[in-house]
Amino acid sequence: MRYRNVCLESFGYTLPDEVVTSDDIEVQLQPLYQRLRLPEGRLELMTGIRERRFWDRGVLPSQKSVESSNLAINAAGIDRKYIGALIHASVCRDYLEPATASTVHHYLGLPDDCVIYDVSNACLGLLNGMIQIANMIELGQIRAGLVVGTESGRQLVETTIDALNRDESLTRNQIKSAVASLTIGSGSCAMLLTDRELSQTDNRLLVAQVRANTQFHQLCHSGEDEAVGSGMQPIMRTAAEQLMREGVATGAVTFERFLADADWSVKEIQKTFCHQVGSAHRKLMLQSLGLDVSRDYSTLKWLGNTGSVALPITMARGIEQGHVDANDNVAMLGIGSGINCVMLGLNWQRALVQSKGTLPESNASVDVDGERPLIR
């Protein structure tokens, strides 16, 4: 998919105040750790994630999606009458129905002829939403559109801790499938796309490439639709090592097609942003694609895996911190369970970002092994 008339105009993102460290989680897992004689510090060592953040209890995704959307709209300074589509694209949503986009649309005060709906595709939902809005803009159906999502990790992490402590039959090998669930954090992000005439930035979306490798759809899954009558307390099961291998292999094939469509060589990509899973995944993916870690930006150490909003928040944060320069070619590289892959290429000019919430200033100043500064 190639584009001539689409710009990624602005970002808005919101971060929770409550910080939960990997050490905190290990304290809560003491019954399991003592029974299996697990060494402390294991969780951060395995994942590269020092901490993640959680929303206050009772916060609905729509509440934070409204906040992030308002930040993106305000950053762009756009008249809301031009926003012709709103897609809510996170895994988490308020209810089975109506669409969470309905609530967000209402509180944003968007036009009544705005197309609104929810999209769900594990960690790639917001990237899929970007493509759908870009297609509508390219076809001349709308002038501007918002894709937004809010992920809440508290329920999954707390449910996983409880399950691991209660099941005294678990072995060291069996708990591996639960480790990925303990990396999950919360966050919210919105992206505003416009046509070039409306744009103040000319941050042009040039190309999008997708690939499905669904023979591996069972490598990461929750139980049967646990949104029904269970208080949204899922248990995830992840074959993490195989998912990483097959996901990176799928990404490598997608990347070849992406480069061909963009008419870029690897050297012509100045900056990259990847889905934030863990340090081992990031290292393997960058190496497999032939990408220099100095071009990449990471937030996983401080945010963990925030699902569908992980890559957009990381890009927004990187832009805020000056990681991207004018006229950089930027690659957004998403690999998610299913297995699905979405990659987008942009030519960057100007940053418009508003945010709420803080991160350490040094959040991206470590390499894939967490040992030395990135070269800017």
How many Å is the Cα radius of gyration of the chain?
Answer: 20
For residue 360, whether the previous peptide bond is cis, meaning omega lies within 30 degrees of 0, is no
Lowest mean pLDDT among 45-54, 225-234, 264-273: 225-234
CATH number of the domain to which 229 belongs: 3.40.47.10
Any domain includes 157: no
Structural domains in the chain (count): 1
The predicted model gives 88-114 an average pLDDT of 96
Any domain includes 165: no
Q: Evaluate if residue 218 carries a pLDDT over 90.
A: no
Tell me what pLDDT residue 219 has.
Answer: 47
The closest alpha carbon to 25, from 52, 58, 59, 57, belongs to: 52
From the CB of residue 218, how many other CB atoms can be counted at a distance below 10 Å? 12
- Angstrom distance (rounded) from CA 279 to CA 300: 8
- Angstrom distance (rounded) from CA 311 to CA 18: 21
The rounded mean pLDDT for the chain is 87
pTM (predicted TM-score): 0.89
Range of the domain at 116: 6-21+56-152+184-353
Any domain includes 253: yes
Among candidate residues 97, 197, 224, 371, the one labeled active-site is 97
Tell me what pLDDT residue 288 has.
Answer: 86
As given in the structure block, the two tokens for residue 38 are: 């697990």
Among candidate residues 114, 123, 220, 274, the one labeled active-site is 123
| C-alpha torsion angle, residues 91, 97, 98, 103 (rounded to 10) | -50
Do 22 and 43 contact (CB within 8 A), yes or no?
A: yes
Do 30 and 163 contact (CB within 8 A), yes or no?
A: no
Judge whether 123 counts as a catalytic residue. Answer: yes
Alpha helices in 291-359, H assignment, sequence order: 300-303, 310-320
